[in-house]
Structure 1
Amino acid sequence: MPLGQITLPVTFGTPSNYRTEFIKFKVADFESSYHAILGRPALAKFMAIPHYSYLFLKMLGPNGVLSLRSDLKCAFDYDVQAIQIAAKAQAASGRKEIATVAAEMNPEELEIPAKKPSILAPPKEVDDKQIDLGTGDPSKMETISAHLSAK
């Protein structure tokens, strides 16, 4: 749920050819690498044509077409940085949750249980069988258990 909304002037272009429109933004309380996201209503207000693959945006200006380009490598680097920041924030909040739960637990509940023996462990007295892999080379032998189940 948005906390509220705010209308701000947004300007694209250069001092000689620019375009300003008032855009309504919804304010949300969540961590993101983006400060603002322009959605379809904002692009429609600017009559902008985005090309997402090339990170390219075109719109009409008072003195011709405004072309806005972005650097793909720079955008990728910012995305990687945002993912790292989000991972650190998530890890920190996870540690806080674990510490809170651990503080509320009894000391008996915090004990590490003894490891149970694996049901897949082979029996102690296993007869092994050497088989030839069909090469005739004695160094190309494989060891298998003689007590395999029918499965």
Structure 2
Amino acid sequence: MNHTSGEEAVGAVFSGGRDKGKAKREDEYKGPSMQRGCYPLIIDPIFLKKRLTKVLMDGGSSLNILYDDTLDAMRIPRSELHPVSSPFHGTISAMQANPLEKINLPVMFSDQANFRLEVLTFKMVDFLGSYHAILGRPCYAKFMAIPNYTYLKLKMSGPNDVLIVGSTFSHAYTCDREHYELATTIINSVELP
């Protein structure tokens, strides 16, 4: 995707960014276990003029989550955060998570000639994550977005036409492996009784 002027890629802070400029066709990817529908839907929306390159679209989550590290990388002042009183469950297996605070941020999906911008509420968490953010059902509803996990695409209406955003299979595979490695490290670091 092309980036508009004034936008910064936060992915460089976390992962070195995606492989831009490679002319490899999507169907030429021959990564391990190339099975359509088995990879996470990873997108790269723009948050406050900064493109986040590893955002998970999670249709099973009732929350939009932003990690503390992402907030710091985006240089958002803590004065923008608002208190949260209720914990949530299911993010960390069998544990209750307490969000730090919440924040409202404009999120934009775009391509060269079409875009869609909405303000979403995010719960801030201070535990490790392999993604920059997780967008759940509130995002799907606000954007009226339809996921296609077979082709790793997300469709929504835009001002000019249907807007289609998505990821490459190689990027989704890489993000999936990073998530697996982080989860394995966390599980292995917990002492068993």
TM-score scaled by structure 2? Answer: 0.44
Structure 1 match to 2:167:
70
Q: How does 1:56-135 map to 2 (within 5 A)?
A: 56-91=153-188, 93-94=189-190
Q: Partner residue of 2:43?
A: none
Unpaired segments ≥5 residues, structure 1: 99-151
Q: How many residues align?
A: 95
Q: Which residue of 2 aligns with 1:24?
A: 121
Any idea what the Cα deviations from partners look like across 1:64-88, whole Å, max 9, x if unmatched? 0101121123211221122223434
Partner of 1:119: none
Partner of residue 4 from structure 1, selected from 70, 88, 101 = 101
| Alpha-carbon distance change, 42 to 73 in structure 1, aligned in 2, over 3 angstroms | same
Alpha-carbon offset, residue 7 of structure 1: 0.5
Q: 2:150 aligns to what?
A: 53
TM-score under structure 1 length normalisation: 0.55
**Rg larger in structure:** 1
Over the residues paired in the alignment, what is the CA RMSD in angstroms? 2.1
RCO higher in 1 or 2 (8 Å CA, sep ≥ 6)?
2
Displacement, 1:15? 4.7
Distance 2:187 2:139 in 1: 31
Counterpart pick for 2:133 among 9, 12, 36: 36
- Structure 2 stretches of 5 or more lacking a match? 1-86, 88-98
Opposite residue 53 of structure 1, the aligned amino acid is T
Separation in 1, partners of 2:108, 2:182: 29
Q: Which runs of 4 or more aligned residues in structure 1 lie more than 6 Å from their structure 2 counterparts after TM superposition?
A: none
- Cα deviation for residue 29 of structure 1 reads 2.2
How far 1:14 sits from its partner (Å)? 2.5
